[in-house]
C-alpha cells in the first residue's frame, strides 16, 4: 500500500531497486543486456519489471509513470488498496467506480500456494509470484487458510477476481470449500474463478481443466500468468457424499464429504489407503511425485496377488437414480465426476473403441464404472482394456451390506463398515479452463462435445 498522500492511481512512478536483475533482461534505454557484471548492478522496477543500466538511469525515468507492465491486469496496485482503506473509513463501498480507472480488462489474481506441495516447490513459487505481483495478493495456505485469504475478494469489483491454486487436488478442494463458505455468508457477487497449477501426485482435476498432469518448473512463472489471463471460465459440478453407518442404534451423524473428482470402493481405494497410512508415518519420504507413483504401483501389484476386495458384487447393492443395478463379479466401483482418473487415465472412454456419451464435468451427471481388480485397473490405464460401464446418473446410492471395505473420496481414503453411501449434486464451482495444455484425447473429446452442442 501507499501512504495516503493524495497521489492519484494513474500517476504512480516506477519503484526502482538496484541489483538482482533477471537474466536475459535488457535496458529500456540502450536495449543492451542488463545484470551482466559480477556484482549488484543496474535497476529493476518491482512493478513493471523494466530494467535499466546504472549509467542509463536518468531523472526522467525516476519520475516516469509506471504502467505495471505486462501483468497490469492481474496486479492489485498499492494505491487501490490505499483508496479502499480510506473508503472503508468513510463507510463508502463504491469499489466499481474506483476500479473503473484500472480498465475493463482488470481481473486481479490472488495466489493461494501450498508450500508443502511438490517437493516444496510451492515455497519457491511464492517468492516468484511476490516478485511479479503485489505481495499482498500472494498467500501461503499453510499459514493463511483459504477462508481468510479469499476475503481479499470482497475488496474487489463484483465477479472480477481470479484465484490461482498452486498445489494438489486436495488443496484445490480446500479452496473450493472456502468458496462455498463465501456463498453461505452471502458473498456470491465476489466469488472468484479458480485456476490450478498442479503440484500434487495425481492432479486429475487440473488435467481435466487443461492445466496439465504436474508442474515441475518446465515453463517460467511469467508464462503461467499468461496462461491464466488466456483461460476461459467454465463450471464444475460438486457433489455431496453422505455415508450413513448401518444399525438401528447409531446415534452419530452421517459423515459428509464434498466430491470434485471421484468416489470409489475397491482396489484403487485400497491402494490409496495403504499409501496414506505409510505417508502419515514418514511424510518426508513421500515428497517426490515419481516415488509416490512407484509406491502406488507396489500396492497395486500386491493386490493383484492377494485380491482383498474380491466378490464386491455380493457385498454391495447399487442404485442409479433409484433403480437397482445387477452387477457382475466385480472388485471395485468408481463414481466419476471428471474425465480423468488414476493420474491421467480417461476411465469412462477406456480404449476409445466404443461409442458412449462423453464424460463431462458440468452436466449434472455422474459416470459409474466397475473394475474386475487391480490388474484390470492397470490394463485400463495403458489402454489395453475398457472398464465395465454401469451407467450415468444424477443420484447414486450404494449399500455396503457386510464386512469392511476401503473407500475414498478425491484421494482421501478410509476403511468403512456396513453403511449406505448416497451421492447427490451439491453446487457448481466457477473454474478456469486452459486449452493450451490439451492432449490428443482432449482435442478429440472437445471436438466431439462441440459437435454435440451444434446438433443441440
Distance of alpha carbon 348 from alpha carbon 368, whole angstroms: 8
Is there a single domain that holds both residue 267 and residue 358? yes
Q: How far apart are CA 196 and CA 433, in angstroms?
A: 9
CATH number of the domain encompassing residue 25 = 3.30.60.20
In a domain, 8, yes or no: no
pLDDT score of 280 more than 70 = no
Q: How far apart are CA 77 and CA 58, in angstroms?
A: 24
- Is residue 101 a contact partner of residue 10, using CB atoms and an 8 Å limit? yes
Mean per-residue pLDDT, 289-310: 53
What percent of the chain shows pLDDT beyond 70?
A: 84
Q: What is the mean pLDDT of the chain?
A: 84
Task: Please check the confidence at residue 305 and state whether its pLDDT lies above 70.
Answer: no
Domain-embedded: residue 445:
no
Task: Tell me which long-range contacts 5-8 makes (C-beta under 8 A, separation of at least 24).
Answer: 7/79, 8/79
pLDDT at 452: 43
Domain assignment present for 446: no
Number of structural domains the chain divides into: 3
Q: Is residue 456 a part of any domain in this protein? A: no
Same domain, 62 and 186: no
Region 439-449 average pLDDT: 45
Domain housing 24: 13-67
In terms of C-beta distances under 8 Å and separation of at least 24 residues, what long-range contacts does 54-58 make, across chains too? 54/18, 56/27, 56/28, 56/29, 56/30, 57/16, 58/29
Residue 165, pLDDT > 90, answer: yes
Asked whether the beta carbons of 22 and 51 are under 8 A apart, the reply is yes
Question: Residue 289 — very low, low, confident or very high, per pLDDT cuts 50/70/90?
Answer: low
The cell for 311 is 466378490
Whether residue 415 has pLDDT greater than 80: yes
- Domain shared by 54 and 95, yes or no: no
Range from 86-90, 164-168, 435-439 that averages highest in pLDDT:
164-168
Q: Do 360 and 272 have their domain in common?
A: yes
Query: Tens of pLDDT along 75-108?
Result: 999 888 888 888 877 777 667 777 777 888 899 9
- On whether residue 5 sits in a domain, the answer given is no
Residue scoring higher pLDDT (173 or 269): 173
- Domain contains 440: no
**What is the tens place of the pLDDT at every residue in 178-193?**
999 999 999 999 999 9
pLDDT at 354: 76
Please report, to the nearest 10 degrees, the dihedral formed by the alpha carbons of residues 386, 392, 397, 403 taken in order: 0
Q: How confident is the model at residue 224 (pLDDT cuts 50, 70, 90)?
A: very high
Handedness of CA 214, 230, 171, 139 (dihedral sign): positive
For 48-61, how does the pLDDT look when each residue is reduced to its tens digit (9 = 90+)?
Answer: 999 999 999 887 78
10 Å CB burial of residue 147 (0-12, 13-18, 19+) is: middle
More confident residue, 2 or 229: 229
Strand positions, DSSP E, 147-246: 162-167, 193-198, 232-245
Q: Which residues contact 276 (CB under 8 A, 6 or more apart)?
A: 412, 413
User: Which of 233, 257, 291 is where one domain is finished?
Assistant: 233
Shared domain check, 252 and 225? no
Which pLDDT score is estimated for 103?
A: 80
Q: Could you tell me if 125 and 215 lie in one domain?
A: yes
Among the ranges given (4-18, 179-193, 436-450), the one the predictor scored with the smallest mean pLDDT: 436-450
Q: Does 383 score more than 90 pLDDT?
A: no
What average pLDDT does range 166-182 have in this prediction?
A: 94
| More reliable by pLDDT, 276 or 82 | 82
Q: Angle 136-142-147 (CA atoms, 0-180°, nearest 5)? A: 65
Contact of 87 with 258, CB cutoff 8 Å: no
* pLDDT given at position 230: 95
List, as one string, the DSSP characters of 394-408: S-EEEEE-SS-EEEE
Kindly state whether residues 379 and 318 are assigned to the same domain: yes
Q: Which of the listed residues 31, 52, 67 is the one where a domain comes to its end? A: 67
pLDDT of residue 248: 55
C-alpha cell, 350: 477406456
Do residues 359 and 339 touch, judged by C-beta distance below 8 A? Answer: yes
The count of other CB atoms within 10 Å of the CB of residue 197 is 28
**Does 295 lie in the same domain as 256?**
yes
How would DSSP label each residue in 344-380?
TEETTTTTS-S--PPP-SSSS-EEEEEES-HHHHHHH
Q: Note the pLDDT of residue 450.
A: 45
288 is written with which cell numbers?
517426490
> Which residue has better confidence, 295 or 317?
317
SS3 content of the chain, % helix, strand, coil (to 5): 35, 25, 40
Asked if residue 437 has pLDDT above 50, the reply is no
Distance (Å, whole) CA 20 – CA 217: 20
Retrieve residue 343's grid coordinates.
Answer: 493420474
Does 448 map to a domain? no
What does the alpha-carbon distance between residue 43 and residue 414 come to, in Å, rounded to a whole number? 55
Element (H, E) at 320: strand 316-320
- The verdict on residue 349 lying in a domain is yes
Residues 124 and 26 in one domain: no
Q: Looking at the predicted structure, is the pLDDT value of residue 453 above 60?
A: no
C-alpha cell of residue 368 = 459409474
Sign of CA dihedral 331, 337, 343, 344: positive
Higher pLDDT, 66 or 381: 66
Domain final residue pick, 44, 67, 90: 67
pLDDT at 181: 95
pLDDT tens sequence across 105-132: 899 999 999 988 766 788 889 999 999 9
Which of 39, 160, 168 has its CA nearest to residue 105? 160
Q: 309 φ, ψ to 5°?
A: -110, 20
Using one digit for the tens of pLDDT, what is the confidence trace for 29-45?
999 999 888 888 899 99
Tens digit of each residue's pLDDT (9 = 90 or more) over 198-213: 997 778 999 999 999 8
Residue 282: DSSP 8-state = -
pLDDT band at 287 (very low <50, low <70, confident <90, very high): low
DSSP bridge pairs for 399: 317, 420
Q: Name the region of 97 (left: φ>0; alpha: ψ -120 to 50; beta: rest).
A: alpha
Model confidence at 288, pLDDT cuts 50, 70, 90, reads low
- Residue 152's pLDDT band, with cuts at 50, 70 and 90, is very high
Q: Are 101 and 53 members of one domain?
A: no
Instruction: Assign residue 258 the CATH number of its domain.
Output: 2.60.200.40
Are 174 and 98 members of one domain?
yes
Confidence of residue 397 (pLDDT cuts 50, 70, 90): very high
**Nearest one of 334, 324, 411, 406 to 370, comparing CA atoms:** 334
Residues 248 and 228 in one domain: no
Amino acid at each position: 500500500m501507499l501512504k495516503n498522500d493524495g497521489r492519484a492511481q494513474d500517476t504512480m512512478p516506477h519503484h526502482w531497486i538496484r541489483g538482482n536483475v533477471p537474466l536475459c533482461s535488457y535496458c529500456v534505454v540502450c536495449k543492451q543486456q542488463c545484470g551482466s557484471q559480477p556484482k549488484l548492478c543496474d535497476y529493476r522496477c518491482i512493478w513493471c519489471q523494466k530494467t535499466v543500466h546504472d549509467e542509463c538511469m536518468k531523472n526522467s525515468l525516476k519520475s516516469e509513470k509506471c504502467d505495471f507492465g505486462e501483468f497490469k491486469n492481474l496486479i492489485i496496485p498499492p494505491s487501490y488498496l490505499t483508496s479502499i482503506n480510506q473508503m472503508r473509513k468513510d463507510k463508502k463501498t463504491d469499489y466499481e467506480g474506483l476500479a473503473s480507472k484500472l480498465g475493463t480488462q482488470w481481473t486481479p489474481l490472488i495466489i493461494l500456494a501450498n508450500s508443502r506441495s511438490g517437493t516444496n516447490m510451492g515455497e519457491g513459487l511464492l517468492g516468484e509470484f511476490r516478485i511479479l505481483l503485489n505481495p499482498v495478493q500472494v498467500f501461503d495456505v499453510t499459514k493463511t487458510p483459504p477462508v481468510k485469504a479469499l476475503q481479499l475478494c470482497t475488496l474487489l469489483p463484483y465477479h472480477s477476481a481470479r484465484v490461482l491454486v498452486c498445489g494438489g487436488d486436495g488443496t484445490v478442494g480446500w479452496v473450493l470449500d472456502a468458496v462455498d463458505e463465501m456463498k453461505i455468508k452471502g458473498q456470491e457477487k465476489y466469488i472468484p474463478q479458480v485456476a490450478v497449477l498442479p503440484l500434487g501426485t495425481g492432479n486429475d482435476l487440473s488435467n481435466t481443466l487443461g492445466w496439465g498432469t504436474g508442474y515441475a518448473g518446465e515453463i517460467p512463472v511469467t508464462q503461467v500468468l499468461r496462461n491464466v489471463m488466456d483461460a476461459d471460465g467454465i463450471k464444475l459440478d460438486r457433489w455431496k457424499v453422505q455415508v450413513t453407518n448401518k444399525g438401528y442404534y447409531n446415534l452419530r451423524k452421517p459423515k459428509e464429504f464434498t466430491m470434485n473428482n471421484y468416489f470409489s470402493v475397491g482396489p484403487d481405494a485400497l491402494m490409496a489407503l495403504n499409501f496414506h497410512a505409510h505417508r502419515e508415518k514418514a511424510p518426508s519420504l513421500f515428497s517426490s511425485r515419481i516415488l509416490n507413483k512407484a509406491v502406488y504401483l507396489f500396492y497395486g501389484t500386491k493386490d493383484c496377488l492377494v485380491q482383498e476386495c474380491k466378490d464386491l458384487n455380493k457385498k454391495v447393492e447399487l442404485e442409479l437414480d433409484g433403480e437397482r443395478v445387477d452387477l457382475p463379479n466385480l472388485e471395485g466401483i468408481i463414481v466419476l465426476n471428471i474425465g480423468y482418473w488414476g493420474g491421467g487415465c480417461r476411465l469412462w472412454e477406456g480404449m476409445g473403441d466404443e461409442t458412449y456419451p462423453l464424460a463431462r464435468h458440468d452436466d449434472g451427471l455422474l459416470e459409474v464404472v466397475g473394475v474386475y481388480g487391480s490388474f484390470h485397473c492397470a490394463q485400463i490405464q495403458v489402454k489395453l482394456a475398457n472398464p465395465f460401464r454401469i451407467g450415468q446418473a444424477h443420484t447414486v446410492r450404494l449399500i455396503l451390506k457386510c464386512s469392511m471395505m476401503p473407500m475414498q473420496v478425491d484421494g482421501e481414503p478410509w476403511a468403512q463398515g456396513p453403511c449406505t453411501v448416497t451421492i447427490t449434486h451439491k453446487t457448481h464451482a466457477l473454474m478456469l479452463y486452459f486449452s493450451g495444455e490439451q492432449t490428443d484425447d482432449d482435442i478429440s473429446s472437445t471436438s466431439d462435445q462441440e459437435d454435440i452442442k451444434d446438433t443441440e
